[in-house]
Structure 1
Amino acid sequence: MSYFELKEPPRREDRLKACIAHGSTLGAVSHRRMRCCMPDKERSFTQNSICLLLPALGTMNTIPNSLVLMHGGLGCGSSCHGGNAAVRGGNTQRWGVVKDGRWLSTGLTEAEVIGGGEPKLAEAIIEADRRYRPEVIFVVASCVPGIIGDDVNGVVEQTQPEVAAKLLAVHCEGFKTKIWATAYDAVYHAIGRTLLPDAVAEKSDKKKPGKTVNLMNMSSMGRVDEIELERLLKALGFEVNIFPVFTDPSAMQRMAEADLSISTCPTHDDYMLNHLKEKYQVPFIIRHMPIGIKNTGKWLQDVADFFGLRQAAQELIAQEEAELAEALAPLKPLFKGKKAFSSAGEFRALSTAILLAELGFEVVGIRAFHHDEFAEVEYAKLAKLTGEDYPLNIANCQPFEEANLLRKIQPDVFLGHMNGNSTAAKLGIPTHVIYNTGLHYVGYRGAYELARRLYRQLKNPRFNANLSRFVKLPYQESWYQQNPFKYIGAAGGEEE
């Protein structure tokens, strides 16, 4: 049975045996010696985490002519205020208009938590449709309805005949999973069940393959990076459709009509790509992330090989790599011998670490937010390029482990998410954001632009050095003397 026949997607702990707790060396992962990294394995002490509602909102709020209705407490969705900057920027970059995301909340009270919130949800759906007239309403289940047993899908089914908007039930009950990447599955699940055509696309065996590709972007990159990948794909003659961010709901069905789907981040895309293949016979490629020089070439070569365009791709890759090498030549001497630490979602952390090694940095540490099967080949690539004897931390945040590692390693630069660089910054380490929708990271242009920004950062690292003089982290000195993985079971810690 297809997962899409279920009311909500399975947890990644169950579907992919994903995990969030591991601490050892890169070599232990590249050789699959991860005895502590098991589904639901957790620390005996945990500091914080991320709710899967956050990345889900980051995608849903980008959909044109849509509205997000969060069913839960009033605080759920407060991150939309910060994330709205990316929505405004994305709309401006694509269409030259300043447009905000739209989100509402049922704002459940204590009485409704006790008595049930289904009547209030139905009323809110009808009022949202009447007042805003959206094409789509994402009805998002947060923790509270999951705990009290509200039947969100049932309310959606009962209310749908009364409203003009299409209703998509999205399950983001944060307590159900520790792998917040399940959020991508939740959004894709709703899109696949509601916005894609019901009929199986008929494709004749005799039909010659076309050259239309789905370029999947589940908030993996901003518009500037989309343009870079479009440039490379169009140079080989492909027609490119980008899904799902900033895609009109009525256009989502074109996902089922393409000749090939291409993942830009396997962490994000496997759930939907498997569905497109099973139901609509759209094949897919889910190897590599096009960040880094060699990874971009491999990503592009895989697409070209599918269409029998190997020679054309090789010529394009050779030309691009030659131009990039010339542009990087003045920058790379500064990077030689500099130590770098990469922290992000698993695939992004690894592919960025590979790029750092290509630029001449010494990679001395990696933190990935979770681990699953898709990144195993990336660990092998990185181990071959950089060696194996440096720390790898699988952690859904846990800044106390990060602070310990950074004090021991003392990297020259730390690359992490914009809301996750403060620990390194307070230790006086130069930091650079690993993902920002307004900056280049992907493809050959991304490799150059990241190198250029790091060059400027390392030329003048005084800001973080000065910051560390006046701002201190809350950890005792005794913690820095201990094993950073002390609280992870079977990693030399308390539970071993």
Structure 2
Amino acid sequence: MSYFELKEPPRREDRLKACIAHGASLGEVAGRRLGCCLPESERSFTQNSICLLLPALGTMNSIPNSVVLMHGGLGCGSSSHGGNAAVRGGNNQRWGIVKDGTWLSTGLTEADVISGGEPKLAEAILEADRRYQPAVIFVVASCVPGIIGDDVDGVVEQLQPEVSAKLLPVHCEGFKTKIWATAYDAVYHAIGRTLLPDGENKTPEKKAGKTVNLMNMSSMGRVDELELERLLKALGLKVNVFPVFADPNGMKRMAEADLSISTCPTHDDYMLNHLHEKYQVPFIIRHMPIGIENTGKWLADVAEFFGLGEQARALIAQEEAELAAALAPLKSMFAGKKAFSSAGEFRALSTAILLAELGFEVVGIRAFHHDEFADVEYEKLVRITGQDYPLNIANCQPFEEANLLRKLKPDVFLGHMNGNSTAAKLGIATHVIYNTGLHYVGYRGAYELARRLYRQLKNPRFNANLSRFASLPYQESWYSQNPFKYIETAGGDSE
């Protein structure tokens, strides 16, 4: 049975045996593959985490002509305020209009928790459809309705004939999973069940030419989309980008492509398997096009599918030669410098490979979770960077990160914009590992990241000065202990 026949997707702990708790050398993890940690592994002390609602909102708010209706407490979804700048910028870059995301809340109260929130949800759906007349309404189930048993899918099914908008129930009950990448499955699940063509195993009529789905589930900004479109169009391919900022009425074109191409396996496998199983659209999901080698492998795989291998090899050789010439004046700055990469699994690993290609010594990596798709990246890292430095699998946990950074003393730390403060307070130069307005992927991304790191390392005084006046909340004794002290295996033993 397809997962898409269910009302909600399974947890990644169950579907992919993904885990969030491990600490070891890179070589150990690469050798043991997914066996390096088990879904039941956990910490006896945990500092914080991220709710899966956060990444889900980043995608839902980007969909044009949509309303995101959050069914839950008033605070759920408040991160949409901070993410709205990316929504406005993304709409402007792709559609030429500056438009905010539209999000609402049912604002459940204590009385609703006792008596049930379904009437309030039904009223909110009708009002959202009347007031905004959107193409789609994402009806998002947060923790509270999951706890009290509100039948969100039942309300949606009952009201669909009464509204013009397509209603997409999205299950983001944060207490159900600690692998917040499950959020991507939740959004794809709603899109696949509602916005793709009906019919069991019915292959839609394919368009003439070589058309590819370039999957972008918040993996990159418009500037990176343009870089990958440039490379694919050089091979004569027609490119459609899904799902961020894609017209909801055109989502069905995902089922009409000749090939789907992942830009981040962590984000895309759930939908790509569905497109293949139901609509016979083949897919490629082996590499993330960050870094020189990875971009070449990514492009070569696509070209081989269409019988364009010779053309791709010539393109890759030309691009790599131009990039090498552009990087030559910068690389002397990176020689002998130590770097630490921290992000979602594939971005952290592929960025570490790029850092090594630029001449940095990679001394540590933190990945937010671990699953089978990263095995090939671990093997690349061992080959390119060695294997005797720590890999921390952690859904945040800044106390482990602080311990590692004090021991490793990197010259630069690359992490998400909300995750660089620990390194900054230790006086380490920091750079954001993902920003929708900056280049990261493809050959252009490799050069632009190198250029930014060159400028950062040329004058790292800001964080050095910051460390004189800012401090972390950990006792000095913690830094002398094993950073993975509180990680427990499935059998209960400490790492």
Same fold (TM over 0.5): yes
Distance 1:126 1:90 in 2: 28
2:46 is aligned to 46
Pairing 1:16-55 to 2, within 5 Å after superposition: 16-32=16-32, 37-55=37-55
Distance 1:47 1:264 in 2: 31
CA contact (8 A) 1:201 1:256 kept: no
What is the Cα deviation at residue 209 of structure 1? Answer: 8.6
What is the Cα deviation at residue 98 of structure 1? Answer: 1.1
CA contact (8 A) 1:485 1:493 kept: no
CA contact (8 A) 1:485 1:491 kept: no
> AA paired with 1:102?
T
1:470 is aligned to 469
Q: Deviation string for 1:335-388 (max 9, x for gaps)?
A: 011000000000000000000000000000000000000010000000110100
TM-score (normalised: structure 1):
0.98
Distance 1:481 1:60 in 2: 44
CA contact (8 A) 1:288 1:295 kept: yes
CA contact (8 A) 1:339 1:412 kept: yes
Distance 1:68 1:40 in 2: 33
1:149 is aligned to 149
For the structure 1 residues 491 and 392, does the alpha-carbon distance in structure 2 shift closer, same or farther, using more than 3 Å as the test? farther
Q: Which moved more, 1:32-41 or 1:232-241?
A: 32-41
> AA paired with 1:195?
L
For the structure 1 residues 44 and 131, does the alpha-carbon distance in structure 2 shift closer, same or farther, using more than 3 Å as the test? same
2:65 is aligned to 65
Pairing 1:162-201 to 2, within 5 Å after superposition: 162-199=162-199, 200-201=201-202
CA contact (8 A) 1:8 1:189 kept: yes
What is the Cα deviation at residue 492 of structure 1? Answer: 13
> Does 2:458 align with 1:459?
yes
1:113 is aligned to 113
Q: Which moved more, 1:483-492 or 1:457-466?
A: 483-492
> AA paired with 1:274?
N
CA contact (8 A) 1:220 1:265 kept: yes
Q: Secondary structure at the match of 1:469?
A: helix
What is the Cα deviation at residue 40 of structure 1? Answer: 3.1
Q: Deviation string for 1:157-211 (max 9, x for gaps)?
A: 011111110000000000000100000000000000000001344379xx99941
1:320 is aligned to 319
Distance 1:351 1:82 in 2: 27
1:241 is aligned to 240
CA contact (8 A) 1:214 1:260 kept: yes
Distance 1:472 1:491 in 2: 34
Q: Secondary structure at the match of 1:364?
A: strand
For the structure 1 residues 120 and 394, does the alpha-carbon distance in structure 2 shift closer, same or farther, using more than 3 Å as the test? same
What is the Cα deviation at residue 97 of structure 1? Answer: 1.6
Distance 1:257 1:80 in 2: 32
Q: Secondary structure at the match of 2:487?
A: coil
Q: Deviation string for 1:15-58 (max 9, x for gaps)?
A: 00000000011011110166662113210000000000000000
For the structure 1 residues 492 and 278, does the alpha-carbon distance in structure 2 shift closer, same or farther, using more than 3 Å as the test? closer
2:440 is aligned to 441
Q: Secondary structure at the match of 2:431?
A: strand
What is the Cα deviation at residue 491 of structure 1? Answer: 11
RMSD of the alignment, in Å? 1.5
CA contact (8 A) 2:42 2:489 kept: no
CA contact (8 A) 1:36 1:488 kept: no
2:203 is aligned to 202
Distance 2:109 2:96 in 1: 40
Q: Which runs of 5+ in 2 are unaligned?
A: none
Q: Secondary structure at the match of 2:23?
A: strand
Distance 2:331 2:466 in 1: 27
Q: Which moved more, 1:324-333 or 1:32-41?
A: 32-41
Identity rate, percent: 86
Distance 1:483 1:85 in 2: 40
> AA paired with 1:431?
T
Pairing 1:322-361 to 2, within 5 Å after superposition: 322-361=321-360
Distance 1:143 1:16 in 2: 23
CA contact (8 A) 2:427 2:466 kept: yes
Distance 1:372 1:135 in 2: 35
What is the Cα deviation at residue 96 of structure 1? Answer: 2.4
1:93 is aligned to 93
Distance 2:216 2:160 in 1: 29
Q: Deviation string for 1:397-430 (max 9, x for gaps)?
A: 0000000000000000000000000000000000
> Does 2:228 align with 1:226?
no
For the structure 1 residues 203 and 5, does the alpha-carbon distance in structure 2 shift closer, same or farther, using more than 3 Å as the test? closer
What is the Cα deviation at residue 59 of structure 1? Answer: 0.1
CA contact (8 A) 2:34 2:375 kept: no
Distance 1:359 1:495 in 2: 36
> AA paired with 1:261?
S
Q: Which runs of 5+ in 1 are unaligned?
A: none
> AA paired with 1:267?
T
TM-score (normalised: structure 2):
0.98
For the structure 1 residues 332 and 491, does the alpha-carbon distance in structure 2 shift closer, same or farther, using more than 3 Å as the test? farther
> AA paired with 2:304?
D
Pairing 1:255-266 to 2, within 5 Å after superposition: 255-266=254-265
> AA paired with 1:202?
T
Pairing 1:286-305 to 2, within 5 Å after superposition: 286-305=285-304
For these two proteins, the number of residue pairs brought into alignment is 494
Distance 2:70 2:41 in 1: 30
> AA paired with 2:74?
L
Distance 1:491 1:426 in 2: 34
Q: Secondary structure at the match of 2:212?
A: strand
2:81 is aligned to 81
Distance 2:174 2:324 in 1: 45
2:130 is aligned to 130
Distance 1:411 1:198 in 2: 53
Q: Deviation string for 1:126-178 (max 9, x for gaps)?
A: 01101111010000000000000001000100111111100000000000001
